[in-house]
Structure 1
Amino acid sequence: MKKSLLYIEDNEKIGNWVKEELEERGFSVQWLLSGENAEKEVLHHEVVILDIMLPGLDGFTVGKRLKKVAPTVPILLLSARTSIDDKVDGLQFADDYLTKPFHIDELVARLEVLIRRSGGLHSERISLGEHIEVDPEIKMVFDKQTGKEIILTGKQHQILMYFLNHPNKVLPKEQIYEAIWEEPYMTGDKTLMVHISRLRQKIEQNPDSPEIIETLKGIGYRVKL
């Protein structure tokens, strides 16, 4: 299986050479000429090669944004800048720093190390509706349209994962409550209802007409996969 890589480099001569060499060595390369759409694409890759001198946003800015969106995806900075200050600044967020000119075999070796350290590609993501993606291994929820993480509270995350562990099943509210809070459900308690309402505010496109967490009146809830 090919290793998936996001490559951000505005120099077309260098970019074409690196892309061809990496593809010959078993990588699948998505090459961008700037960091403009990088935040949307990074979640689909195992590793990033990032040039510092880019049009628009520089590599330092792009790299910091990528780390916020995908903190587990390693970044290798590739730059003609050789000063210690640049390397120190870059390694505040990046996982490695390689200066130009470089040998392609060294680049490949460094990429292999970064991928091994990170554990490779994310676990298989679960899609909910048209815009939500859940990575159960790293316990993160993303908006596919923006690439940004959706921050859930601990209980909201537990509830969502409980649904995903019981896909397509109608779950009585008593069962959900007792599994999450680990105490008997008291008739009339609205704690679960409030948490689900707040969870819907974060993951539903229209919380008043939910498509992900369905309510079956008088019975409970269901999430369809």
Structure 2
Amino acid sequence: MRVLYIEDDPEIGEWVERKLKENDFKVSWYRSGHNLPDNMEEYDAAVLDVMLPGLDGFSLGRRLKRNFPQLPVIMLSARTAIDDKLEGLEFADDYMTKPFHPEELIKRIEIQMRKFDRTPNETLSIGHLTVLLDQQIIKNKETSQEILLTGKQFYIFKYFLRHLNQILTKEQIYEGVWGEPYRDGDKALMVHIRYLREKIEKDPSSPEIIETIRGIGYRVRG
């Protein structure tokens, strides 16, 4: 899943680029709307900042939608006035105001890609589970029953699936899912994993899907 990302602020740009890559997006980050790649038809979505040097995001977004109407365009802006939002939504498929959470941006990109039928149908088999990532559906292969997770539980499990066979620390998981540094003593992640295990494991007291790596963190084997 390839994303064109245009942002002139280096701090925000590095942060968003890192978060998108952690979720398996291929990111091409540009500081301005000049000299865009020649292979635009290969991109699955465009994320544009409004305040750009030279060609502003609105002008660039209109040009992209005119030349590539099937390319989802998401605008990012610190402008919160309704007039700015309405101007952006005249051509763009979505409009997000800063500050924003990376989890929400990723979800909005995925939603737009599904609308334009640009999201690959990714199905994984993990133990007794079948996971349809694009539809956010988890089923027990033995019973054919769907397992219902909360949004946060699914994001945690999805983060594991994006990093199959890797040992992940609590700090990595927390930052990847919550989008902020882990705080010592914070029990939120452990609580969510406990409830997640109760739903997906055959025996939560002896988990086979989400392994505990003593003294380090967790791992899901593919």
Structure 1 length as normaliser, TM-score?
0.51
Shift of 1:69: 1.2
3-state secondary structure, aligned to 1:48: strand
| Residues 99 and 36 (structure 1), Cα distance of their counterparts in 2 relative to 1, 3 Å cut | same
Q: What letter matches 2:5 in structure 1?
A: Y
- Structure 1 stretches of at least 4 aligned residues deviating more than 4 Å after TM superposition: none
3-state secondary structure, aligned to 2:48: strand
> Is there any run of 5+ residues in structure 2 with no aligned partner, and where?
121-222
3-state secondary structure, aligned to 2:14: helix
3-state secondary structure, aligned to 1:49: strand
2:95 to 97, 102, 113: 97
1:87 aligned residue: 85
Alignment of 1:24-103 (within 5 A): 24-38=22-36, 40-103=38-101
> Is there any run of 5+ residues in structure 1 with no aligned partner, and where?
123-225
Q: What letter matches 1:65 in structure 2?
A: R
Shift of 1:121: 6.8
The structure that has the greater radius of gyration is 1
Q: What letter matches 1:91 in structure 2?
A: L
1:11 aligned residue: 9
Q: Deviations over 1:6-52 (max 9, x none)?
A: 00100011000000011001100000100012373532200000000
Structure 2 length as normaliser, TM-score?
0.52
Q: Deviations over 1:172-224 (max 9, x none)?
A: xxxxxxxxxxxxxxxxxxxxxxxxxxxxxxxxxxxxxxxxxxxxxxxxxxxxx
3-state secondary structure, aligned to 1:113: helix
Q: What letter matches 1:53 in structure 2?
A: M
Let me know the Cα RMSD of the aligned residues: 1.5
Is residue 39–residue 65 contact of structure 1 (8 Å, CA) maintained in 2?
Answer: no
Is residue 39–residue 66 contact of structure 1 (8 Å, CA) maintained in 2?
Answer: no
Question: Matched residues in 1 for 2:86 and 2:66: separation?
Answer: 19
Is residue 39–residue 69 contact of structure 1 (8 Å, CA) maintained in 2?
Answer: no
Q: What letter matches 2:19 in structure 1?
A: E
3-state secondary structure, aligned to 2:38: helix
Aligned length: 120
Question: Matched residues in 2 for 1:39 and 1:65: separation?
Answer: 14
Q: What letter matches 1:74 in structure 2?
A: P
Question: Matched residues in 1 for 2:37 and 2:61: separation?
Answer: 9
3-state secondary structure, aligned to 1:43: helix
2:111 aligned residue: 113
Shift of 1:68: 1.3
3-state secondary structure, aligned to 1:71: coil
